Amino acid sequence: MIQLKQRQYGNTGKQVSEIGFGAWQLGNRQDWAAMGDEDAIALVHQALERGVNFFDTAPNYGLGRSETLLGIALAGKRSKTVINTKFGHGADGTTNYDPSSIRISVEQSLRRLRTDYVDSVLIHNPPFDHLDGKLGHFEIFSQLKQEGKLLAYGASVDSSKEMLELIQHTEVNVIEVLFNIFAQETAEAFQLAKEKNIALIVKIPLDSGWLSGKYNAQSTFEGVRKRWSPETIAKRAALVDKIRFISDEQTSMTTAALRFILAYPEIATVIPGTRNIAQLNENVAASDAPMPQDQVRQLQELWDQEIRFQNLGW
């Protein structure tokens, strides 16, 4: 079995598996058919066995259950793992970005995760005016860092404009950012992040499932994915057909889509959702070989010439 490659996690001194584990689905009964707790814990253990050491969670994932299940699964294994959690969307389902709430949020996360520190904490998709540090969020994170409750801090965002606001006005160590074949705009800020030694975590790498190749123009959706209009579904399906050349008998579209992201050396890790062993195997296979450079260029050109001008929603 090929061991997962690792990359530097910013200036933390930690190395992270370039394929991480997005833990949104653990215990999440609101957005998914829930997996049992035993299955969730077993899946985390399987990920560890495959070389995954980076786990991304948040207080609101499963209303606290994601952190709780990770804490149980990683008991006795904490020193071998890197954990990222967030602040802003609470385990009670409310949204609160008040800096005075950071400490209690982090301490509650630590209790659920059964650990005395997390490797990083991010403000979870905050309003733009929260990113320049003037409201005091990063001073509190810095205090918690000095106390040893976290090693690094930053924010989870969706655009290069937001990334640049963080990079140019704060001392953040980590940025989680939307980036995939259909959403390449944020790459404009990657080089500057690298120059500042900021760890980049890539979220939504499969564009909410579209880049797995399993959806088409006739697909219908329930739950959180019911947001797409028929027109958006048709546009997305047409684009999926244009990129099917990235997959073949040996490489699934999921694996290829992750390899496109890993073609960017500025990225520390990518966090696809993982709901079962088959998905885990597809995800970690992305680390086995690089995407051919001619395919990377074709996908960049497709974005630049066509996709960037389309409104695909999120």
Residue-range domain boundaries for the chain: 6-309
Q: What is the pLDDT of residues 41-53, one digit of tens each?
A: 999 999 999 999 9
**Is residue 7 a contact partner of residue 16, using CB atoms and an 8 Å limit?**
yes
Q: What is the pLDDT of residues 115-126, one digit of tens each?
A: 999 999 999 999
Interatomic CA distance for residues 42 and 221, integer angstroms: 28
CATH topology of domain 6-309: TIM Barrel (3.20.20)
User: Which pLDDT score is estimated for 86?
Assistant: 98
User: Which pLDDT score is estimated for 225?
Assistant: 75
Is the model's pLDDT at 38 over the cut of 60?
A: yes
Alpha-carbon distances of 301 from 214, 242, 266, rounded to whole Å: 23, 12, 20
Q: What is the mean pLDDT of residues 103-121?
A: 98
Q: What is the mean pLDDT of residues 62-90?
A: 95
User: Which pLDDT score is estimated for 34?
Assistant: 61
Q: What is the mean pLDDT of residues 296-311?
A: 94
Is the model's pLDDT at 113 over the cut of 60?
A: yes
Q: Between residues 39 and 257, which one has the greater pLDDT?
A: 257
What pLDDT band is residue 270 in, cutting at 50, 70 and 90? very high
Q: Between residues 101 and 28, which one has the greater pLDDT?
A: 101
User: Which pLDDT score is estimated for 33?
Assistant: 59
**Is residue 181 a contact partner of residue 243, using CB atoms and an 8 Å limit?**
yes
User: Which pLDDT score is estimated for 1?
Assistant: 57
As a whole-number percent, the residues of the chain with pLDDT over 90 amount to 82
**How high is the mean pLDDT of the chain?**
94
Is the model's pLDDT at 55 over the cut of 90?
A: yes
Is the model's pLDDT at 152 over the cut of 60?
A: yes
Q: What is the mean pLDDT of residues 112-135?
A: 97
Q: What is the mean pLDDT of residues 287-299?
A: 97
Burial class (CB in 10 A: 0-12, 13-18, 19+), 153: buried
Interatomic CA distance for residues 12 and 16, integer angstroms: 11
Is the model's pLDDT at 313 over the cut of 80?
A: no
Q: What is the pLDDT of residues 204-258, one digit of tens each?
A: 999 999 999 999 889 888 777 778 888 889 999 999 999 999 999 999 999 999 9
Long-range contacts of 166-171 (CB under 8 A, 24+ apart): 166/131, 166/132, 167/192, 167/193, 167/196, 167/198, 169/131, 169/132, 169/133, 170/131, 170/132, 170/133, 170/138, 171/138, 171/142
